[in-house]
Amino acid sequence: MITKSNIRKSYDQLIHGRFSAFFSILALYLILCLVIRTLFLVWSCKNAELNVMYIIRAFSTGPLFDLMMGLFYLSVYGIYLFLLPRRFTGSLFDKAFTFFYFFLLFMIMYFSLLAEIPFWDEFGVRFNFIAVDYLIYTYEVVENINQSYPLPLIVSVLAGLVVVTFFALFRLRVFHRAFTDKIPFSRRSLYFFPVVLVTGLLSVLLNNKQADFSNNLVVNELGKNGAFSFISAFRSNELDYDVFYPKLSHKEAFSLVKKDLLQANQRYATQNSDDLSRFTKGSGSEKKPNIILIAIESFSADFLAAFGNRDHLTPNYDRLAGESIFFTNLYATGTRTVRGMEALTLCIPPTPGNSIVRRPDNGHLFSIATVLEEKRYQPYFIYGGDGYFDNMNNFFGGQGFDIVDRNRGNPLSDGIRTARFAIPDSEVSFENAWGICDEDLYRQSVKYADKSSRENKPFFQFVMTTSNHKPYTFPSGKISLPQGDRNAAVQYTDYALGKFIAAAKKKAWFKNTVFVIVADHCASSAGRWEINIARHHIPAIIYNSGEKPGEINRLASQIDLMPTLFGYLHWNYNTSLYGKDINQMGTGQERAFIGNYRTLGMLKNNLFTQINDRKQIKQFTVSGKDRSLSEVNYKNDDLVKETISFYQTASERFKNGKMKVH
């Protein structure tokens, strides 16, 4: 019979009995999660939609995820308490196991909570697939942490928190009660089985998508738990478009894409309904200059004076823009380097889940390398770190690029037959966790340009910089701003670029070399909306092309940059790329593909059509300098179908091997 006395007795047992440590630490974890959630709300309030009902929902949903993770952390200890015979309660074994288990638990618990803070600062979200990826590349990540933050202090703080927690539990006599209460098996069952039931129900019922109830990224992320999000990302690091996203019929999807992709100077090679291969006719005599494509790390458009920046961070890029074809309305497809690489080489919308750069079986795809090979170019991928990071070497090697990187003993996958050249220590003046400084990297570009020139081979270089990346360190004495600051890294990046162009001008090959200089993605993607369009705005220039300098103000996607260059070179070539020559697009045909891990969208005619892995379709009007979004109740069905068709066909073609060069 349930009586007031029995309830009181059960409560006393809960607080003062064998399970006291279990429930005390569970309560501690829930409190700490609430503190972190509140901290993030205050920190990001300018980007949060401060709707009272939304905040209440986030702070109601979040504790359920917290409870799930707390029970998960304590699951082994709960089983131990249930199974350990009571005669061993308080024994040396009992104490040794308990203290060792809680030491490991506290280290993991505090580390995961503290690690969320810099991750939120960098990405504006809880742990996601990026954090999962980072587990694979421990050297770069540990070195980056060591160079960005005082690692001894972090370890000391962790150790201090563990010591303080043990001290508090001892002072509250929690362990004393846990080691002296020798309750029988039957009474232990009264605590254990409800815990198992709650844990089982939460594990079945909870899904990270349930926290994504609004259009506001901050509010959605507040309702999550970092560790739970990490596990969710680990389990679904790749998303099957067919399963998770809205679809059209196969025939309709390809029909729409083929209609959109065809330029006035193109014709399809076959009548096959799902064959995108088409022949492009150049508008004049072909030019075959050397091409150096420079992808600058995290180089947002708003760093440039042309877009309103008054800190004079990029005088060299600003000057070059005035002497170039300058894209002022260009958008990155994603928020990571591998997305930029994918967009610039494969010229494809960002398929859901991981970038194709990081996926298996991504060799011999139709890419710009296929076109370059047809034109007899010698392609290089030049990177100042270890190109095994994010699978870059295997991806570029699989497309036929020769690799230039630090080459610290990480082999290419079997079947890749390209040359790999190591950057020797003697040619490195400065290096941090992510690679050599940009000045050293550009010297490698010059070195291999000289080599190709001596061999009388037209060359293509994909040069990937790293200096504009945390920890934001670079050679001293180059610029006036201090080390470790984002603006300083931008200024040094620009300094190194200016120095490179000056050095290139002294070379015989310069007159016959075109430079394409573009960002891989913006410095940050955090903001009010699930996809923040303004945080995808990047600069790009085509320099030294022989064309009259000027601005291209039309909307363009990162995937259109290289096909536009091919147009300026008047190339006749076969293509299966999704990117188009901006100069061959009719008015109103311009579009930009923008996505993150799970949410995909297309910007066209000031309407942003968004689809996600919950098969939801939303449309927003886009306005203002900050590209603010306002959801509309009506839907433009043509744009909805067009958006779906691009992402559906791109995903299908990669999945089914139809992107392969046969």
Domains, the chain: 4-235 (no CATH), 244-655 (3.40.720.10)
pLDDT score recorded for residue 563? 98
Calpha distance 483→460 (Å, rounded): 33
- Could you tell me the pLDDT band of residue 307, with boundaries at 50, 70 and 90? very high
Q: pLDDT for 603-631, tens place per residue?
A: 999 999 999 888 899 999 999 888 999 99
What is the pLDDT, as a whole number, of residue 597?
79
44 pLDDT higher than 50: yes
Quote the CA–CA distance of 563 and 344 in Å, as a whole number. Answer: 10
Q: pLDDT at position 424, please?
A: 95
For range 373-384, the mean pLDDT: 96
The DSSP call for residue 389 is G
Q: List the structure tokens of 317.
A: 């890029």
Asked whether residue 199 carries a pLDDT value surpassing 80, the answer given is: yes
Least confident range of 8-12, 141-145, 218-222 = 8-12
Average pLDDT over residues 429-442: 95
- Most distant pair of Cα atoms in the chain: their distance: 95
End-to-end CA distance of the chain: 76
- The predicted-structure confidence for 143-189, as pLDDT tens digits, reads as follows 766 677 777 888 899 999 999 999 999 999 999 888 998 888 888 89
Distance CA 642, CA 252 (A): 10
Does the pTM of the predicted model rise above 0.75?
Answer: yes
Mean pLDDT over 429-450 rounds to 96
**In angstroms, rounded to a whole number, what is the distance separating the alpha carbons of residues 388 and 410?**
6
Q: Which two tokens stand for residue 29?
A: 């974890």
Give the whole-number percent of the chain exceeding pLDDT 70: 93
- Between these two residues, 204 and 541, which has the higher pLDDT value? 541
Gap between the Cα atoms of 474 and 456, Å rounded: 35
In this structure, the strands spanning 617-623 and 537-543 are unpaired
Tell me, what's the pLDDT at 125?
82
Residue 482 has what DSSP assignment?
Answer: P
Question: Distances from the Cα of 238 to the Cαs of 217, 354, 358, 651, in angstroms?
Answer: 21, 6, 10, 11
For residues 486 and 405, the answer to whether their CB atoms sit within 8 Å is: no
E strand or H helix at 250, and its extent?
Answer: helix 250-261
Name, in order, each residue with C-beta under 8 angstroms of 164's C-beta and a sequence gap of 6 or more: none
Q: Is the peptide bond before 118 cis (omega within 30 degrees of 0)?
A: no
State the amino acid at position 561 in one-letter form. Answer: L
Please compute the mean of the pLDDT values over residues 473-494 and round it to a whole number.
Answer: 94
- Which residues are CB-neighbours of 337 under 8 A, at least 6 positions away? 295, 297, 390, 464, 520, 521
Which of 206, 234, 215 has its CA nearest to residue 353?
Answer: 234
Tokens of 152: 């001894």
Rounded to whole angstroms, how far apart are CA atoms 42 and 45? 5
pLDDT digits (tens, 9 = 90+) for 104-153: 999 999 999 998 988 888 778 888 776 766 665 556 666 766 677 777 88
Band (47; pLDDT cuts 50, 70, 90): confident
Assess whether pLDDT exceeds 70 at residue 310. Answer: yes
Instruction: Please give the Cα distance from 550 to 287 (Å, whole number).
Output: 20
The distance from CA 427 to its chain's CA centroid, rounded to whole angstroms, is: 31
Mean pLDDT of 206-214: 87
Q: Which residue has the tokens 């984002």?
A: 486
Q: Which of 475, 470, 468 is nearest to 440 (CA)?
A: 475
CB-based burial, 270-281: b 16+ in 10 Å, e otherwise: eeeebebebebe
Distinct helix (H) and strand (E) counts, the chain: 22, 20
pLDDT of residue 133: 66
Give the confidence band of 325 by pLDDT, cuts at 50, 70, 90: very high
Interatomic CA distance for residues 464 and 459, integer angstroms: 16
**Segment among 9-23, 405-419, 498-512, 636-650 with least mean pLDDT:** 9-23
Average pLDDT over residues 394-411: 89
| Mean pLDDT to the nearest integer, 179-200 | 90
Residue percentage of the chain with pLDDT more than 90: 73
Task: Give me the mean pLDDT over the 466-473 stretch.
Answer: 92
Which range among 15-19, 364-368, 432-436, 473-477 shows the weakest confidence by mean pLDDT? 15-19
The string of pLDDT tens digits covering residues 492-533 is: 999 999 999 999 999 999 999 999 999 999 998 766 678 899
Per residue, the 3-state secondary structure of 406-419, as one string, reads: CCCCCCCCCCCCCC
Structure tokens at 101: 């288990």
Mean pLDDT confidence for 281-304: 96
How many CB atoms are closer than 10 A to CB 35? 11
Q: Helices (DSSP H) in 84-150: which residue ranges?
A: 92-123, 129-136, 138-148
Q: Whole-angstrom Cα distance, residue 137 to residue 407?
A: 15
Task: Report which residue type is found at 406.
Answer: R
On the question of pLDDT at 1 being above 50, the answer is no
pLDDT for res 144: 66
Is the C-alpha dihedral spanning 345, 351, 357, 363 positive or negative?
Answer: negative
